[in-house]
Amino acid sequence: MGDRMLLGERYRLEVRWSRVVYEKEGEATLEGCYFSGPVLKEVAQIEQQDHMDLDFVNQYRVFVNQFYIARLSWNGVKQTLGKIYLRDVTFTNRHVNSVPKLNDDDYILINTANHEEEKHQYNLVYPSYLLRQDGELYNFKG
């Protein structure tokens, strides 16, 4: 099974996209971006304009000697059965251009376990992992 991610299905949120564009320092644009995963069954409403701070420290510490927290921001939401499509999506962090770049067929796995209503205020970031299309975790340690 290698580094394949095991995460309680109930709290699994995936961020997928069709294309990544790097035009600005510290920012990537995610085109065709959407949320999917079992946790969407428990989500009441996603704000039209919002963000999530994604904590990649466990995966990227080989490149960044401090916390690697990237902000996923959007401006527009369309909810459908099983997916939430996001518009005007950016992925920002000052190191985003110097760590391995996102590929068009990668996706982000987010653990939302500590973000139920009564816990969310004490957990400001979401533990997150970058995975390849085949579901394998990128192992940057070599």
pLDDT of 1 reads 40
Residues 18, 140: Cα–Cα separation, whole Å: 23
pLDDT of 142 reads 58
Note the pLDDT tens digit of each residue in 89-121: 999 999 898 888 999 999 999 988 865 566 555
Please determine, for residue 138, whether its predicted confidence score (pLDDT) is greater than 90. Answer: no
Q: CA torsion angle for 131, 125, 122, 114 (degrees, to 10)? A: -10
Per-residue pLDDT band at 75 (split at 50, 70, 90) = very high
Q: Give the range with max mean pLDDT: 21-25, 58-62, 63-67, 119-123.
A: 21-25
As a whole number, mean pLDDT of residues 53-63 equals 85
Give the phi and the psi of residue 6 in degrees, each rounded to 5: -115, 120
Note the pLDDT tens digit of each residue in 28-46: 999 999 999 998 988 778 8
Please determine, for residue 6, whether its predicted confidence score (pLDDT) is greater than 60. Answer: no
pLDDT of 135 reads 92
